[in-house]
């Protein structure tokens, strides 16, 4: 793979996570990283100093020199940026990080045969631990896929999907972290009800979750880990019985379905 010159349009939280991953994990594959935004010059100066990337206040001048253009601005900024970008493009690989903006949308707003891809990271990208989904457009080649995987390497794990699957599974990889944090909040509330202060409750719950997630990561077997903790007829089994009676699995399934309905434009 030739060394890539990568231009970011948008220099917010997600652009920073991807750029940080690139300069630490893929430095050998990169000729330059150039970041731009909508006018927040202080932020550009900060990313330049922190990551040693180049910055510009006018991304239009950089398109011609770039191999990859990463769209890291909000979904609602896409129509106008894509319109302008179209007039500067010459077969550059265009990758969006935006929620809801799949390859078919990019292809319908960019010149014919433009290679495109869609990455859906989650917030753990900021610590290099994302579970990202990605999908490529119809004009992307094996080489584009290699470039995409090089970009993804620095923010964690990634899984290739169809466009439809990215739409459906983002509820699990992108939104479910919020469900997990809500579970943590609920457990912290239940702990403080026994009279311990909030800091202690947080320490207890967060370390319990951290250790449990590491066990999950090692064994990949949630059911047998649950069984290890649950003596039949014992105290934990009694707690789980309440969760089953309240149909915890159904609540989770309904939360995923509601997320997808909303993401697909429903109410
Ligand atoms: N944060 C997440 O966990 C997450 C997860 C998955 C996907 N995403 C996607 O990643 C994208 C960026 O999210 P973020 O959290 O990084 O947002 P953010 O921190 O708010 O950053 C947005 C960036 O876009 C720039 N921008 C806005 N309008 C622009 C325009 N018209 N032209 C050029 N730059 C423009 C902003 O520039 P100024 O600061 O100068 O206004 C800023 O640098 C979004 O599409 C989001 O859906 C985010």
Supply the CATH number for residue 185's domain: 1.10.3730.10
110 CA from centroid of ligand 1 (Å): 20
By the 8 A CB rule, do 6 and 113 touch? no
Can you say whether residue 118 is alpha, beta or left, with left for phi > 0 and alpha for psi between -120 and 50 degrees?
beta
Q: Closest by alpha carbon to 93, among 72, 112, 60, 66? A: 66
122 and 184 co-located in one domain: no
Main-chain phi, psi angles of 237, to 5 degrees: -60, -35
114 and 70 co-located in one domain: yes
Full domain range(s) for residue 37: 4-160
Please indicate if the annotation marks 233 as binding a ligand: no
CA–CA gap between residue 265 and residue 68 (Å, rounded) = 30
44 and 129 co-located in one domain: yes
By the 8 A CB rule, do 114 and 97 touch? no
52 and 90 co-located in one domain: yes
C-beta 10 within 6 A of ligand 1: yes
Parallel/antiparallel/unpaired status of strands 116-120 and 130-136: antiparallel
By the 8 A CB rule, do 117 and 141 touch? no
Name the residue with tokens 């004009």. Answer: 139
257 and 229 co-located in one domain: yes
The residue from 160, 181, 196 where one domain ends is 160
180 and 241 co-located in one domain: yes
Q: Whose CA is nearest to atom 40 of ligand 1?
A: 38
Index of the ligand 1 atom closest to the CA of residue 40: 40
144 CA from centroid of ligand 1 (Å): 23
61 CA from centroid of ligand 1 (Å): 20
Euclidean distance between the first and the last CA atom of the chain, given in angstroms as a whole number: 45
Please indicate if the annotation marks 215 as binding a ligand: no
**pLDDT reported for residue 265:** 78
152 and 22 co-located in one domain: yes
23 and 90 co-located in one domain: yes
**pLDDT reported for residue 179:** 98
Q: How many domains does the chain have?
A: 2
By the 8 A CB rule, do 103 and 117 touch? yes
The residue from 160, 188, 211 where one domain ends is 160
Q: Whose CA is nearest to atom 46 of ligand 1?
A: 98
99 CA from centroid of ligand 1 (Å): 10
266 CA from centroid of ligand 1 (Å): 23
Q: Whose CA is nearest to atom 31 of ligand 1?
A: 77
Q: How many beta carbons lie within 10 A of that of residue 18, not counting itself?
A: 27
CA–CA gap between residue 74 and residue 99 (Å, rounded) = 8
107 and 227 co-located in one domain: no
CA–CA gap between residue 113 and residue 72 (Å, rounded) = 22
C-beta 16 within 6 A of ligand 1: no
**pLDDT reported for residue 177:** 96
Reported in sequence order, the residue ranges of the chain that DSSP labels E, i.e. its strands, are 4-9, 30-36, 54-55, 68-71, 93-96, 116-120, 130-136, 156-160
57 and 117 co-located in one domain: yes
**pLDDT reported for residue 252:** 97
Q: Whose CA is nearest to atom 45 of ligand 1?
A: 98
Taken as a whole, the chain contains a residue count of 267
175 and 153 co-located in one domain: no
13 CA from centroid of ligand 1 (Å): 7
Please indicate if the annotation marks 131 as binding a ligand: no
8 and 84 co-located in one domain: yes
Main-chain phi, psi angles of 115, to 5 degrees: -70, 130
CATH code of the domain in which 114 resides: 3.40.50.720
The residue from 126, 160, 194 where one domain ends is 160
Q: Whose CA is nearest to atom 20 of ligand 1?
A: 12
Segments in the chain below pLDDT 50: none
**Radius of gyration of the chain measured on its C-alpha atoms:** 22
C-beta 100 within 6 A of ligand 1: no
Q: Whose CA is nearest to atom 8 of ligand 1?
A: 98
């Amino acid at each position: 793979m030739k060394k890539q010159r990568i231009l970011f349009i948008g220099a917010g939280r997600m652009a920073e996570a991807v750029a940080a991953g690139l300069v630490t994990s893929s430095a050998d594959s990169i000729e330059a990283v150039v970041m731009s935004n909508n006018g927040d010059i202080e932020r550009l100066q900060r990313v330049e100093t922190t990551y040693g990337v180049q910055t510009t206040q006018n991304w239009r001048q950089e398109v011609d020199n770039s191999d990859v253009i990463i769209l890291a601005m909000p979904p609602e900024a896409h129509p106008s940026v894509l319109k302008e970008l179209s007039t500067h493009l010459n077969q550059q690989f265009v990758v969006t990080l935006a929620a809801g903006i799949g390859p078919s949308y990019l292809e319908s707003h960019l010149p014919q045969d433009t290679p495109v891809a869609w990455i859906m990271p989650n917030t753990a990208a900021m610590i290099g631990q994302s579970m990202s989904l990605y999908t490529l457009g119809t004009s992307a080649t094996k080489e584009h896929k290699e470039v995409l995987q090089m970009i993804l390497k620095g923010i964690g794990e990634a899984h290739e999907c169809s466009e439809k699957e990215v739409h459906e599974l983002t509820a699990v990889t992108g939104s479910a972290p919020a469900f997990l944090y809500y579970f943590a909040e609920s457990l912290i509330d239940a702990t403080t009800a026994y009279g311990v202060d909030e800091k202690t409750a947080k320490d207890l719950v967060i370390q319990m979750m951290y250790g449990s997630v590491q066990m999950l990561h090692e064994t990949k077997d949630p059911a047998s880990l649950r069984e290890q903790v649950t003596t039949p007829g014992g105290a934990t089994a009694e707690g789980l019985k309440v969760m089953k009676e309240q149909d915890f699995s159904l609540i989770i399934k309904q939360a995923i379905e509601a997320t997808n309905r909303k993401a697909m434009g429903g109410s």
